[in-house]
Amino acid sequence: MRRGFRLCVCLLLLTLVTGCWNRRELNELGIQMGTAIDKIGDEYQVAVQVVVPGEVSARLNSGRSPVTLYKASAPTIFEAFRKLTETSPRKIYSAHIRVLIIGESLAKEGIGTTLDLLSRNPEARTDYYVMVSRGMAEEVLKVMTSLEKIPAHNLFYSLDTASKTWAPTTTVTMDEVILQLVTEGLNPVLPGVDVFGNSVMGDSKSNVDKIENDAWLQTAGLAVFDKDKLVGWLNENDSKGYNYIRNNVKSTVGHLKCPEGGLLALETLRTDTDIKVSFEQGEPVILLRIINESNIGEVECKIDIKKPETIVWIEREIETKLRQLLQQTIQKVKSKYNVDIFGFGQAVYKKDPKAWKKLKADWKERFPRLQVNYDIDITIRRTGTTNNSFENNIKE
Amino acid sequence: MDTSAASKPQYALSAGLGLNIEEIQARFGCSQDLVVKEMSFGSIDIALVYIEGLVDTYVLNQSIIAALLSDDKRSADAPSGNLLFFLKEDVLSVGDIGLLKEMDSLFDSVLSGDVVLLADGYAEALHIGAAGWEDRNVSEPTSQTVVRGPMEAFTENLRTNTALIRRKIKDPRLWLEGRQIGTVTKTNVAVMYMKQIAQESLVQEVFSRLDQIRIDSILESGYIEEFIQDKTLTPFPTVYNSERPDTIAAGLLEGKVAIVIDGTPFVLLVPALFVQFFQSAEDYYQRADVSTLLRMMRFMAFFITMLSPSLYIAVTTFHQEMLPTNLLINLAAQREGVPFPAFVEALLMEVTFEILREAGVRMPKTVGQAVSIVGTLVIGQSAVEAGIVSAVMVIIVAITAISSFVIPAAGMSISVRMIRFILMGLAASFGLIGILVGMLLLIIHLSCLRSFGVPYLSSLSPFHGRDQKDTLFRLPWPRMTTRPMSTAKENLWRQPRTSKPKPKT
């Protein structure tokens, strides 16, 4: 009994020995929401957007900025991160990071080394979005946003929402970037972001005082990488084509020209792309199989959609248009960048690893003359809550 | 007379009435409530000895004194033989009459409310049962209330209590065996069980444990509970108690043994199982599906009470990455300016709550109201407004408190509240790992516990498939075909399997 008691006391005292190791109170944390990494000269500059919790909460709000920015430069990123404590009163806590923005100049030099630290860091999850800024990455974190108080959140959610409903946009999380970098026959593509409007006004609270903000953040095309180096950008149309091929499109809206003039808008409900590979005399041939289901969303022309023939016509039109889009995109990437961002090489590898081994060495030469065929299957499901537009019946 | 003689247990009465009376008065120290009424019956001097307040004055006057004084009996030919026999057989109109020869048993009788009749020339006395004192009526239960179900509770009177149980179970197999425990208080204890349902070994075990008690006083069932429980070093109650006759009757029918103690409305029931403390009498009176849901909610409440403060501490000080971002920012905003670490904050609030609760229980009812108002105001608002604690901590404490009241058995909710503090300490030192280890130790401890030889976690571990119908779930009564395996192995069947009633077609 006495011994048992002593043992208990010893065990209880042992719990105190830990000294609350690794314990961090919530109000000792600088919760990092966004990171921007630039390269200035030989040094990396790290800028972090840290939440000021009191300002975000509706109750305690005193009118100051909801986030603050700390930055530091050092030869390595890790050092730069630690150097942040020179200015930050709290240790930067990176587990809740939402976005990582890489400066264009750094991206041109290569992002591989940058990503190493971030993937090595045990604290952060690798589910944040990575994007490339059109200028200095730091600038992106200095824009106040109104609907989401935290700009990094704003960026995260606008990218997230757009990627689900708008074909030219896609999201890439940290682990996907690394996966794309190490996958054979595939090169990474990251979404671009830029500050629009009057960027000088962006970092002041007055930016969100008005209905229309002076400066705002917007996605800006897709950045094409050759291995880990930025080589160029895709415009809106090419981005759309890229996302169709990579099967990134969840839902989007597109339009057609009617035969008698005017436009017809269609909403894509579901779309699925399959990259199939076959070999013709040892040469790989790509077949893009796209199954797409759409609704008619807007009719701005005189057309009788009650007729089944019209629907068939529309289906055929979309098919042609989509094929043209894909062809253009592939052609442009082939001729301008010559980088296999579509993962055709990966598809070949999956189909026939042995063949890929031989093809791999001169894939750069083969890619531009790679034959791509299309098999597009479009179905129009519904026409919305009406059939023919009432526009046709407007009294003259 | 010699004092050592007085302490001898077997001290015979003397034949002289005067001597006996002197002796009695000497032993009672001439206490004022001891009444010695001397009178004569025929030619013989007799005396009635009783304690005022313990005897029913109506019985005393009508059945004893009036009978003794009535002329026809007195004039009847004077007892040729034994006067005491004559009185017992022919005069006194009271049922419970007996002879006693020792001074000590005379004291026992007098102290338990009998009237003792002494007669000159006899070294014997009659004890006449006339016990009757002011009692509380059978009233509504205060600690285990139900919406639907019997509204009667045990009282402080042993006989009333055993009668309340008997009225529920009209079967001669309900056996009752008495004991007197407490060398000074001589408290009557009745052990009740269903012969043929309760296991013989269990009944023997109860008696052997009761017989080992050598304490001077038993004032409440808690005394007995601590003597007969299997293991003292545990926060969990291993003896069930209830003030509801229906609960006790249900226990008896499951083969358990009830221990009724004079002077308290709380009747003990053994063996007690862990799940039993989460079951309310009402579970059996309302629809099975409702009861099942409520039971699950109680188990949930058990975990909330036990874990919510420690989880809060662990997650906010060690595992911030586990919180959704918006929640984290929200919590961080509330903690801005709070001067204490989360653990101290939690401890502060939990202790304050415990103090308030205790104050509310002990205070006179009228003051209790005031205490609770002050408490809510102080804790709920001022503390948060002053920035001493964060608002979310108040929410956590409130949830913990309310959940602890959901557990129907007070004994269990107190143990959980104790364990909560240990878990909070573990959470503050080791985070979730600490809580996990704490929970593992708890489960190991629970599996080691036994109540009168029955594993405490039984029907869950060891697993009895049949008993699952009344553990976490409660099946409808037509499906409750068997009694629990743990206590009624030999007489398992409660009812034959029946099919559902259907309308005639």
Identify the pLDDT of residue A223: 93
In a domain, A3, yes or no: no
* A379 and A316 share one domain: yes
Which CA distances in Å does A283 have to A184, A357, A367? 18, 13, 11
Distance from A191 to chain B by nearest Cα, in Å? Answer: 23
Domain limit, last residue, from A234, A249, A271: A234
* A36 and A77 share one domain: yes
Number of separate domains in chain A: 2
pLDDT tens digits, one per residue of B337-395: 888 889 999 998 899 888 888 888 888 877 777 777 777 777 778 888 888 888 889 88
In a domain, A76, yes or no: yes
| Beta-carbon separation of A26 and B331 below 8 A | yes
A98 touches B at CB < 8 Å: yes
Residues counted in chain B: 505
A155: β partners: none
3 state DSSP class of A132: strand
pTM of the predicted model over 0.95: no
In chain A, whose CA is at the least distance from the CA of B323? A96
Tokens linked to B67: 């009978």
* A282 and A390 share one domain: yes
CA distance B473 to B294: 9
Identify the pLDDT of residue B70: 78
Task: Say which residue, A22 or B162, is predicted with more confidence.
Answer: B162
Residues of chain A neighbouring B430 (CB-CB closer than 8 A): 15, 18
In a domain, A62, yes or no: yes
* A183 and A247 share one domain: no
CB nearest A27 (choices: B332, B425, B426): B332
Asked if A7 and B421 touch (Cβ cutoff 8 Å), the reply is no
* A228 and A315 share one domain: no
In chain A, whose CA is at the least distance from the CA of B426? A15
Here the CATH number for the domain that contains residue A272 is: 3.30.300.210
* A82 and A217 share one domain: yes
Does residue B434 have a pLDDT over 70? Answer: yes
Domain limit, last residue, from A189, A216, A234: A234
* A197 and A101 share one domain: yes
Identify the pLDDT of residue A222: 92
A15 touches B at CB < 8 Å: yes
Q: How many Cα atoms sit within 13 Å of B141 on the Cβ side? A: 26
Q: Tell me the mean pLDDT in the region B331-337.
A: 87
Residues counted in chain A: 396
Residues of chain B neighbouring A150 (CB-CB closer than 8 A): 329
A100: β partners: A35, A130
In a domain, A14, yes or no: no
In a domain, A6, yes or no: no
Q: What is the mean pLDDT of chain B?
A: 87
What does the DSSP assignment read for A206-238? GGGTSSS-SEEEEEEEEEEEETTEEEEEE-HHH
Identify the pLDDT of residue B3: 42
Task: Say which residue, B3 or B170, is predicted with more confidence.
Answer: B170
* A315 and A377 share one domain: yes
Q: Tell me the mean pLDDT in the region B191-219.
A: 93
| Beta-carbon separation of B318 and A24 below 8 A | yes
A312 touches B at CB < 8 Å: no
Distance from A57 to chain B by nearest Cα, in Å? Answer: 6
Tell which of A7, A11, A16, A25 to mutate to test the B interface (max B CBs under 10 Å): A25
| Beta-carbon separation of A18 and B328 below 8 A | no
Task: Name the residue type at position B214.
Answer: R
Backbone angles phi, psi at B100, to 5 degrees: -140, 155
Closest CA to B124 of B98, B95, B89, B94: B98
Residues of chain A neighbouring B330 (CB-CB closer than 8 A): 53, 56-57
| Beta-carbon separation of A15 and B430 below 8 A | yes
| Beta-carbon separation of A25 and B337 below 8 A | no
Asked if B137 and B155 touch (Cβ cutoff 8 Å), the reply is yes
Closest CA to A156 of A139, A173, A144: A173
Asked if B73 and B40 touch (Cβ cutoff 8 Å), the reply is no
Identify the pLDDT of residue B249: 95
Identify the pLDDT of residue A156: 92
| Beta-carbon separation of A20 and B429 below 8 A | yes
Closest CA to A341 of A118, A137, A177, A133: A177
| Beta-carbon separation of B333 and A96 below 8 A | no
Distance from A385 to chain B by nearest Cα, in Å? Answer: 38
Does residue B1 have a pLDDT over 70? Answer: no
Tell which of A7, A22, A23 to mutate to test the B interface (max B CBs under 10 Å): A23
Tell which of B318, B320, B338 to mutate to test the A interface (max A CBs under 10 Å): B320
Identify the pLDDT of residue B78: 55
Distance from A357 to chain B by nearest Cα, in Å? Answer: 42
Task: Say which residue, B69 or B261, is predicted with more confidence.
Answer: B261
| Beta-carbon separation of A98 and B325 below 8 A | yes
* A176 and A262 share one domain: no
Asked if A131 and A159 touch (Cβ cutoff 8 Å), the reply is yes
CB pairs under 8 A between A and B: 79
Which residues, given as ranges, of chain A have pLDDT below 70?
1, 18-21, 60, 396
Q: Which of B87-96, B209-218, B292-301, B468-477 has the lowest mean pLDDT?
A: B87-96
Does residue B2 have a pLDDT over 80? Answer: no
In a domain, A372, yes or no: yes
Asked if B209 and B257 touch (Cβ cutoff 8 Å), the reply is no
| Beta-carbon separation of B320 and A51 below 8 A | no
CA distance B263 to B156: 4
* A50 and A192 share one domain: yes
Question: What is the extent of the structural domain holding A98?
Answer: 27-234
Distance from B410 to chain A by nearest Cα, in Å? Answer: 27
In a domain, A342, yes or no: yes
| Beta-carbon separation of B336 and A54 below 8 A | yes
Asked if A250 and A165 touch (Cβ cutoff 8 Å), the reply is yes
* A279 and A389 share one domain: yes
Asked if B275 and B240 touch (Cβ cutoff 8 Å), the reply is no
Q: Tell me the mean pLDDT in the region B59-73.
A: 81
A82 touches B at CB < 8 Å: no
Q: What is the ipTM of this complex?
A: 0.84
Residues of chain A neighbouring B385 (CB-CB closer than 8 A): none
* A277 and A148 share one domain: no
Domain limit, last residue, from A210, A234, A258: A234
In a domain, A11, yes or no: no
Does residue B152 have a pLDDT over 50? Answer: yes
């030219």: which residue's tokens?
A168
Does residue B177 have a pLDDT over 90? Answer: yes
Residues of chain A neighbouring B346 (CB-CB closer than 8 A): none
**H-assigned helices in B431-490:** 432-448
Q: Tell me the mean pLDDT in the region B262-267.
A: 93
Identify the pLDDT of residue A396: 65
Tokens linked to B463: 């697993």
Cβ atoms within 10 A of the Cβ of A385, count?
5
What is the percentage of chain B residues whose pLDDT exceeds 90? Answer: 42
Q: Which of B70-74, B144-148, B317-321, B468-472 has the lowest mean pLDDT?
A: B70-74
